[in-house]
Amino acid sequence: MDPQQSQRLEMMLTRMLRGLKIVIERGARETIRELQDRHDEPGSLVPCGYKVYSQNDEDGIISEIFNRIGTTNKVFVEFGVGSGLENNTLFLLHQGWRGLWLDASDAVERARAGYRRLIDNGRLQIRKTHVNPDNINQLIEADIKEREIDLLSVDIDGNDFHVLNAIGCIDPRVVVVEYNAKFPPPVTYCMDYDPHHVWDGSDHFGASLKWFELKMADRGYRLVGCNLTGSNAFFVRDDLVGEAFLAPFTADKHYQPARYELSASFASLSGHPASFKTLASALHGD
């Protein structure tokens, strides 16, 4: 093949790939819109979902919850944040929030380096640590002095309920927690506490949505929705719910099945990948 033929072939492949990308993105957009339209009921959070820095559509749902109930101190705690480029509270930092990140992975060192200015000015604390029922209150109290905070987000791929249930040092107005969508209501499943648990990609993790509904009700929270991928459940404290959300506040009403394949779709619709270079400038806190 001569150089001109090679160049023409390269150009043709580039156009084909660009066209394929457009088709995939259009299909993703239509799929998400169709699913959101199915939940277009007054008070439903599903149509409000979108991704900025969350894994899926959590950013939009969290934003809408606080549009309805307002904020107080704009303080968050999140554990299970990875490198800090994709989680449930990074977008909140863009909106003037402050808080604490906890994560056991080595990736958290990237977050510390990337957000050094935010750490230095006190808007963000990042701790590399394994969380468990015995240490979680001490870890939170070391950096969060407020009793009431606006948001707690939990995603540790295993002992989520056991650690969440042990928290007594803070009173979050909103709680986001990963649930195991393998088990639809009325199944009440929760994995036994295992201090050595490492998620192996199987269905042995976390707890079912019905389990969380019942246990969170005991703590004074109502289930107000789930995201489209069947990943996260959203709970609001009883005294804040009023008529702002879609009733009944049950797993039977709000359960979303596992649609993990949509994660790629949300990623394709959220712009270019996040970069520490961009965020260091946008979130310097000056």
Tens-place pLDDT, residues 30-78 = 777 777 877 888 999 999 999 999 999 999 999 999 999 999 999 999 9
Same domain as 125, residue 225: yes
CATH of the domain at 78: 3.40.50.150
Report the run of H or E that residue 98 belongs to, with start and end: strand 98-103
Same domain as 144, residue 19: no
pLDDT of residue 7: 66
Same domain as 34, residue 46: no
Distance CA 261, CA 256 (A): 13
- How many domains does the chain contain in total? 2
Residue listed under structure tokens 């803070």: 170
Distance CA 133, CA 178 (A): 17
Q: What is the DSSP string of 172-221?
A: EEEEEEE--TTS-TT---BPPP-TT----SSS-SSB-HHHHHHHHHHTTE
Distance CA 151, CA 161 (A): 16
Distance CA 98, CA 121 (A): 10
Largest CA distance in the chain: 73
Same domain as 136, residue 4: no
Same domain as 107, residue 30: no
pLDDT of residue 260: 87
- Phi, then psi, of 153 in degrees rounded to 5: -125, 130
Tokens found for residue 79:
């554990």
Using left for φ > 0, alpha for ψ between -120 and 50, and beta otherwise, residue 61 falls in alpha
What does each of the 286 residues of the chain score in pLDDT, given as a tens digit?
566 656 666 665 655 455 445 445 555 667 777 778 778 889 999 999 999 999 999 999 999 999 999 999 999 999 999 889 999 999 999 999 999 999 999 989 999 999 998 999 999 999 999 999 999 999 999 999 999 999 999 999 999 999 999 999 999 999 999 999 999 999 999 999 999 999 999 999 999 999 999 999 999 999 999 999 999 999 999 999 999 999 999 999 999 999 988 877 777 777 888 888 777 777 654 5
Same domain as 58, residue 2: no
pLDDT of residue 19: 46
Tokens found for residue 250:
């049950």
Same domain as 234, residue 174: yes
Using alpha carbons, select from 72, 63, 71, 70 the residue that is nearest to residue 45.
Answer: 63
Using alpha carbons, select from 79, 186, 98 the residue that is nearest to residue 146.
Answer: 98
Same domain as 233, residue 104: yes
Predicted model pTM:
0.88
Tokens found for residue 235:
């709970």
Same domain as 225, residue 210: yes
User: Rounded to whole angstroms, what are the CA distances from 27 to 32, 210, 262, 264?
Assistant: 9, 32, 11, 12
Same domain as 212, residue 117: yes
Distance CA 175, CA 163 (A): 13
Same domain as 238, residue 275: yes
Q: For residue 2, give its domain range.
A: 1-38
Same domain as 2, residue 56: no
Please say whether the beta carbons of 214 and 193 come within 8 A: no
